[in-house]
């Protein structure tokens, strides 16, 4: 493996090493609702006294979680709602998750796209062509449906040649609904923790929430449908 290849793989290697260290040291135990319940008085007092610094710290920490694909990122948005309220917490979470996703996107594109292109050849060219025409709609759809692995959606568009600005905008818009839902769960977290209970993060799969998300996802795909209908030859 030559120096150029090693240099390309370095960003991804750093992200994977960070994830491995996190898991090996068992650091996920420090990012739990139990830990929040134990320190919530100190944490809320610090946030109230240093609002701007707390917001910036939250965004940085959340972005790092997403960039390193840490398995505790799902806790971050409810914590944001708990610390900052539903709307500010959701906005901070969207900004942080978008920044972290961009970091993964850039690392994957820098490290693997040329290698992937060389191995896939004509197959990748066809995939890129189909994806490029409707990449924004496809990615928006994937972001709106909360069943696809977040880290995987960060990587695939990078390999298929999506432009960064389109990727960033589709990501930002696509994660807004779920972020609002989870931040609203977090806004009521104080009472839940006081009772010694855990928040219900599965609420997003309840039909009164899931159906509107599915509706938005279908709307996101309408441009793809119309484009295909226009390309069909008239009889």
**Hey, where are the domains in the chain?**
3-231
Determine how many CB atoms are found less than 10 A away from the CB of residue 74: 13
Q: Which of 96-105, 215-224, 226-235 has the highest mean pLDDT?
A: 96-105
Q: Return the SS3 of 88.
A: helix
pLDDT tens per residue across span 210-226: 788 888 888 888 877 77
- CA 95, CA 212: separation in Å to the nearest integer? 22
pLDDT band at 66 (very low <50, low <70, confident <90, very high): very high
Of 64, 60, 69, 74, the residue nearest 175 (C-alpha): 74
Residue 123 has pLDDT above 60, yes or no: no
What value does the mean pLDDT of the chain take? 83
According to the model, what pLDDT value does residue 214 have?
84
Q: Return the SS3 of 93.
A: helix
- CA 172, CA 95: separation in Å to the nearest integer? 7
pLDDT tens per residue across span 173-183: 999 999 999 99
According to the model, what pLDDT value does residue 164 have?
93
- Cα of first residue to Cα of last residue in the chain, in angstroms, is 56
- CA 68, CA 26: separation in Å to the nearest integer? 15
């Amino acid at each position: 493996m030559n120096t150029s290849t090693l240099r390309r793989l370095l960003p991804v290697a750093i992200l994977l090493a960070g994830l491995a260290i996190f898991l090996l040291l068992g650091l996920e135990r420090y990012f739990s609702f139990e830990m929040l319940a134990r320190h919530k008085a100190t944490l809320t007092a610090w946030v109230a006294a240093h609002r701007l610094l707390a917001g910036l710290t939250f965004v940085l920490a959340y972005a790092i979680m997403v960039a390193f694909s840490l398995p505790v990122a799902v806790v971050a948005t409810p914590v944001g709602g708990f610390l900052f309220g539903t709307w500010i917490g959701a906005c901070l979470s969207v900004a942080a998750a978008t920044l972290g996703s961009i970091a993964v996107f850039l690392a994957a594109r820098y490290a693997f796209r040329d290698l992937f292109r060389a191995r896939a050849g004509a197959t990748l060219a066809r995939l890129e062509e189909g994806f490029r025409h409707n990449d924004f709609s496809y990615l928006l759809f994937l972001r709106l449906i909360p069943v696809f692995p977040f880290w995987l959606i960060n990587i695939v568009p990078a390999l298929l040649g999506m432009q960064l600005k389109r990727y960033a905008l589709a990501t930002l818009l696509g994660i807004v609904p779920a972020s609002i839902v989870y931040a609203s769960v977090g806004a009521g977290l104080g009472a839940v923790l006081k009772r010694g209970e855990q928040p219900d993060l599965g609420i997003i799969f309840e039909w009164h929430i899931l159906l509107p998300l599915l509706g938005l996802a279908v709307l996101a795909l309408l441009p793809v449908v119309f484009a295909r209908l226009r390309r069909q030859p008239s009889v």
